[in-house]
């Protein structure tokens, strides 16, 4: 995902409610997967036709429909008709660059948030848009591309006859959002480890590469904050909404979600301060190192001033120089220069100038 919002020229002037895909296509095939379950039974299926969607709509169980890929206008129109979703909601679904937001409509609640995935194999971070439509006994999730982010939730549904099977679509939505926020904290932790590892190098060897690393980490951290701060505001607004689609018994879980997103936000602020401190340490270390170099050079210069004077006097082009014809004059000159140098070094040491 681009680090900055880019609006395509062909989308300028379009109605904000038009069902037009406004993002970057990330998958060639639209994939619809459904889980239909209650406490006793779980059914998984891939949806390939509108008729299957109609059958899914009539189910008395809790249904989770996940859609990977957002560029199929016909599919969006069918979903709008079958699940009675307002067109402006699906217009936002088809715009992956839209910021995190919540919107309640007649038949449900719409939530959108940025979802992060870190790949350890190549040390890259991808950011995709996640949209949730929470209706009674139905949750529809929209992702830009297939992924394994929510596989732990699917495993919980498959293997455990517990709360997630019977607590409604709002609890299932909480579980998905909790995974998203946990990934925020995980990604921040990885970046935080890299930032903290700079500190030892900062004091031992403040080379220029460290400054490049600090600036790189600042850019990465600002990118995280750009996505996490709006997500935090969205979750705070979600808790304050008091929607009929968020049942009272599940409010406690959304408050826990608030605590987690607050932790993620505070971590970004904390590491931002650490980076600024490290930047100050770097400049202080470089200044100290420069002062050390200048002090050494100054001492060397001061030492050579009297030596240069002695050599200059000894090398004057006059015949009547008293010491010029001494047989030991050369050695005496060297003795005076060495004595002068040692005397100056002793004086500098006594004054604690080095």
pLDDT in tens, 99-142: 899 999 988 999 999 999 888 878 888 899 999 999 989 999 99
Looking at the structure, tell me whether residues 44 and 73 fall in a common domain.
yes
% of the chain residues with pLDDT over 90: 39
Looking at the structure, tell me whether residues 255 and 314 fall in a common domain.
no
Residue 2 in any domain: the answer is: no
Residue 291 in any domain: the answer is: no
Structure confidence by residue, pLDDT tens digits, 165-203 = 988 999 999 999 999 999 999 999 999 988 888 877 776
Looking at the structure, tell me whether residues 323 and 246 fall in a common domain.
no
Structure confidence by residue, pLDDT tens digits, 42-76 = 999 999 888 888 888 888 899 999 999 998 888 89
How far CA 281 is from CA of 198, 200, 205, 294, 325, in Å, comes to: 11, 11, 11, 20, 59
Pair 313, 333: CB distance under 8 Å: no
% of the chain residues with pLDDT over 70: 90
Looking at the structure, tell me whether residues 194 and 329 fall in a common domain.
no
Q: Model pTM?
A: 0.79
Residue 231 in any domain: the answer is: yes
User: Residue 288 pLDDT > 90, yes or no?
Assistant: no
Q: Domain of 206: which CATH number? A: 3.30.460.20
Residue 121 in any domain: the answer is: yes
Q: How far apart are CA 154 and CA 36, in angstroms?
A: 11
Looking at the structure, tell me whether residues 234 and 306 fall in a common domain.
no
* Confidence at 2, pLDDT banded by 50, 70, 90: very low
Residue 4 in any domain: the answer is: no
User: Residue 1 pLDDT > 50, yes or no?
Assistant: no
Looking at the structure, tell me whether residues 146 and 273 fall in a common domain.
yes
Give the pair of three-digit tokens for residue 110. Answer: 């719409």
In this predicted structure, what is the pLDDT of residue 134? 96
Residue 290 in any domain: the answer is: no
By C-alpha distance, which of 86, 65, 107, 142 is closest to 245? 107
Question: Which residues touch 206 (CB under 8 Å, ≥6 apart)?
Answer: 281, 282, 285, 286, 289
User: Residue 219 pLDDT > 60, yes or no?
Assistant: yes
Name the CA radius of gyration of the chain, rounded.
35
Number of domains present in the structure of the chain: 2
Looking at the structure, tell me whether residues 302 and 220 fall in a common domain.
no
Residue 314 in any domain: the answer is: yes
**Mean pLDDT taken over the chain:** 85
Find the domain containing 314 and state its range.
296-350
Residue 289 in any domain: the answer is: no
Looking at the structure, tell me whether residues 161 and 306 fall in a common domain.
no
Looking at the structure, tell me whether residues 205 and 341 fall in a common domain.
no
Looking at the structure, tell me whether residues 29 and 114 fall in a common domain.
yes
Looking at the structure, tell me whether residues 62 and 168 fall in a common domain.
yes
Looking at the structure, tell me whether residues 94 and 156 fall in a common domain.
yes
In this predicted structure, what is the pLDDT of residue 150? 94
């Amino acid at each position: 995902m681009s680090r900055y919002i880019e609006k395509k020229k062909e989308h300028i002037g379009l109605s904000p409610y038009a069902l037009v895909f406004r993002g970057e296509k990330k998958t060639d095939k639209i994939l619809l997967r459904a889980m239909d379950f209650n406490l006793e039974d779980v059914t998984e299926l891939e949806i390939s036709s509108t008729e299957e969607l109609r059958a899914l709509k009539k189910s008395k169980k809790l249904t989770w429909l996940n859609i990977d890929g957002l560029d199929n206008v016909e599919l969006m129109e069918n979903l709008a008709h079958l699940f009675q979703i307002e067109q402006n909601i699906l217009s936002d679904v088809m715009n992956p660059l839209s910021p995190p937001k919540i919107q309640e409509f007649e038949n449900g609640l719409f939530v959108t948030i940025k979802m992060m995935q870190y790949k350890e194999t190549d040390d890259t971070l991808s950011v995709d848009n996640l949209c949730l439509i929470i209706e009674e006994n139905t949750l529809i999730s929209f992702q830009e591309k297939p992924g394994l982010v929510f596989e732990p939730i699917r495993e919980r549904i498959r293997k455990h006859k517990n709360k997630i099977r019977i607590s409604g679509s709002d609890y299932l939505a909480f579980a998905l959002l909790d995974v998203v926020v946990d990934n925020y904290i995980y990604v921040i932790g990885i970046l935080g480890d890299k930032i903290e590892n700079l500190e030892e190098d900062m004091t031992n060897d403040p080379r220029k590469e460290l400054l490049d690393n600090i600036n790189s980490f600042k850019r990465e951290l600002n990118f995280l904050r750009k996505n996490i701060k709006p997500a935090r505001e969205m979750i705070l607004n979600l808790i304050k909404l008091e929607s009929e689609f968020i049942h009272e018994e599940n409010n406690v879980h959304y408050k826990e979600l608030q605590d987690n997103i607050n932790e993620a936000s505070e971590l970004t602020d904390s590491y931002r301060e650490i980076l600024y401190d490290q930047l100050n340490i770097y400049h202080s270390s470089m200044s100290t190192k420069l002062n050390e170099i200048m002090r050494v050079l100054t001492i060397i210069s001061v030492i050579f001033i009297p030596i240069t004077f002695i050599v200059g006097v000894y090398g004057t082009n006059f015949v009547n120089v008293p010491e010029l014809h001494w047989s030991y004059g050369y050695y005496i000159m060297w003795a005076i220069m060495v004595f002068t140098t040692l005397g100056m070094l002793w004086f500098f040491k006594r004054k604690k100038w080095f």
